[in-house]
Amino acid sequence: MTKDYLLEVGMEEIPARFLTELSDQLKDKVEQFLADNRLTYDDAVAYSTPRRLAVIVKGIAERQEDVSEKVKGPALRIAQDDTGAWSKAAQGFVRGQKLTVDDIFVEQIKDEDYIFVNKHTEGLSAKEVLANMADVLNAMTFPVSMTWNSFHKSFIRPIHWIVSLLDDEVVPFSFINIEASNTSIGHRFLGGKTEITSPDTYVEKLRDEFVIVDTNERKDIIIKQIEQIASDNNWNVPMTEDLLDEVTALVEWPTAFFGQFEDEYLEIPQIVLITAMRDHQRYFYALDQGTDKLLPYFISVRNGDANHIENVIKGNKKVLKARLEDALFFYHEDMTHDLAFFTEKLESVKEHFKLGTLADKQKRVELIIQKLAETINEPEAGAIASEASKIYKFDLMTQVVNEFDELQGQMGEIYAKKFGLSDEIAHTISQQYMPTSSGGELPETLSGAMLAFADKFDTLLNYFNIGLIPTGSNDPYALRRQAMGMVEISEKYDWNFDMHEFVKVVIKDMDVTEEDLIDSFIDFIKLRIQQFLEKEAIDYDIIQAELNGRHANVYTGVNFARGIQKLKNDSPEEYRNLVESLTRVVNLGVKENSDGLFEETKAQTESEQKLFDMLKSDFSTNREKELDMFVKLSDPIADYFNNNMVNDDNEAIRENRLKTMKFITDKVLKFIDPRELNSKF
């Protein structure tokens, strides 16, 4: 027969942002503990609320599996003395296994005899194994932790109770001076202590004490309650997963309610109101179903029932009013100034104490945009981005952004329009920080992409120039994220240029001259290209081959790697031929230092002439045609090697053939280094 096991750890309120991660971790640790201790089970289910982490293991075996193993001892020449009697080494070995010398047998390993014993270990009962569950709690790790009283151990929050129950039987153990029992505690204000009679009564027993332990159930209740409020009032209430998850992690017994704030606050830009409600107060907001305009209402979720809900509404309204009053004041203050007021302030604010001002940064970024526009041949979008770059940091000087710093860029767009700038320039400003995370939303306009790229490029180059290169996990200025943003923007917009050459163009007008700095910068970008390709499930050897090519071109790197991967997946034989042919060529070509092209007239064989004829074709910058060209060369190259000796005794023939190898090598290495590719798979 099998049994069910419940482990619940009750404590002070866990920060909402950690709850899901810790719930999953406890489940994983329990499952690992069971696996390590040879206890089979059917399933494990995690439960969590702000005040508890719990796991129910279903179908747990009554006992550990028995283990029989062959244990190796010392060599026979050590295990026996000259008379053949068992030595102290042999006797100590069997004694350690709780066996006798009568259990010894001999086997040979690599021409040496060793003694062995067969050791049989009978499994412990499930209760005996689970009595060590404190090991699971000791193994947990936390982003932050607390210690309390005089105990030297720590946990995410002080523990108040532990439930450890195997069917209807308590499995006793102690952790940080708390003895496990079958007594749990319900809602802090609505519930009380309750005895859990068995794991399958856990969910309902806690429900009786006003606790919904199932996270998904709590979330569904919240969604339905908010949807009902929206339906009753003809509202549209956006519910993001992040906010839903956070609110779900804040309550044990959810009750949704709504309140109203004064119409006068609707004068504040909508994004400010939404940020104040959603991000600062964890409220949902209401939109008009017809116009999608923000309405003067907020929706929140109480950790409790509906009793005295009117007092809760008043309290929440009071808190929100204070925040909106501040926002309105800051907005009015900002509107008393013109654009020049804020841009002038940028001249006295340092980007970093080792760098110039934000006004200086704007000038550098404008220069980078001009160079970028020339490089990618986008003068129209470049002109818009260039105009935006002259003032794009001004909103950092506004009081609204000082209070709501997460709105930088977005407030820049709103204020830019109010100051009379075009919609294109204003919208370009709003995209300067995109993407804000790896894989995040990218700029939707070309001018926005150019500004965002130039801003990140300038930050990266100048921070490298003052020695602030990220090391290890230390990256206080998020330079890795910004470099990844450059890669993602370049890939989205198919910008086909070499980053190394672009850096050289840009630094001509900047105070950056160190060649090793440029190399460090490019290596840093290449690592981000590697991460980008890893996310696309490109094979490791293809990624390394791409990174070792003689380029720092995101377009080439990403798209050529995709093409190689597709060829490997779809046509493995063609892929092998390509790798083997190009590798053989490159191994010869990289050693050749002579200048000049091969001479077609010096072909000695039909296979050599055929290869020369194919090499006369122009190599395109289109990566698909380029890869196709290399694939088409595979068989002629193989035929060439089968019928020609590259290192011919005739010096003129030898030199021409080595020049041929160098010609192909130079073309190939512009894209990829085939020596890194694995043809054996």
**Residue 522 is encoded by which pair of tokens?**
């490019």
Q: Decide: residue 318, CB within 10 A, 0-12 exposed, 13-18 middle, 19+ buried.
A: exposed
CB–CB of 409/430 below 8 Å? Answer: yes
Lowest-pLDDT range of 34-43, 583-592, 606-615 = 606-615
* Domain spanning 2-64+126-207: CATH 1.10.3470: no
Residues 6+ apart with CB under 8 A from 406: 275, 279
The pLDDT score that the predictor gives to residue 1 is 84
**Percent of the chain having pLDDT more than 70?**
98
Evaluate if residue 6 carries a pLDDT over 60.
yes
In the structure, what pLDDT confidence band is assigned to residue 165 with cuts at 50, 70 and 90? very high
Evaluate if residue 389 carries a pLDDT over 80.
yes
Q: Where exactly does CATH 1.10.3210 map onto the chain?
A: 342-528
Q: What is the mean pLDDT of the chain?
A: 93
Evaluate if residue 602 carries a pLDDT over 90.
no
- Assign 70 to helix, strand or coil: strand
Evaluate if residue 622 carries a pLDDT over 70.
no
**Of 519, 430, 436, residue with least CA distance to 484:** 436
The pLDDT score that the predictor gives to residue 592 is 82
Q: Where exactly does CATH 3.30.70 map onto the chain?
A: 2-64+126-207
The gap from C-alpha 659 to its chain's centroid, in whole angstroms, comes to 46
Neighbours of 168 (CB within 10 A): 13
**What are 414-453's pLDDT values in tens digits?**
999 999 999 999 999 999 999 999 889 999 999 999 999 9
The pLDDT score that the predictor gives to residue 428 is 98
Residues 6+ apart with CB under 8 A from 446: 378, 381, 493
Contacts 24+ apart (CB under 8 A), 143-146: 143/18, 144/15, 144/18
The pLDDT score that the predictor gives to residue 673 is 95
When pLDDT is averaged across residues 325-351 and rounded to a whole number, the result is: 97
**Of 214, 177, 168, 123, residue with least CA distance to 4:** 168
CATH code: domain 342-528 is 1.10.3210
**What are 497-544's pLDDT values in tens digits?**
999 999 988 988 776 656 678 889 999 999 999 999 999 999 999 999
Evaluate if residue 619 carries a pLDDT over 70.
no
The pLDDT score that the predictor gives to residue 620 is 56
Q: Are strands 294-303 and 284-288 parallel, antiparallel or unpaired?
A: antiparallel
Lowest-pLDDT range of 228-242, 605-619, 653-667 = 605-619
The pLDDT score that the predictor gives to residue 621 is 54
Residues in the chain: 681
| CA 29 – CA 37 distance, rounded (Å) | 12
Lowest-pLDDT range of 169-183, 266-280, 506-520, 652-666 = 506-520
The pLDDT score that the predictor gives to residue 514 is 65
**Percent of the chain having pLDDT more than 90?**
80
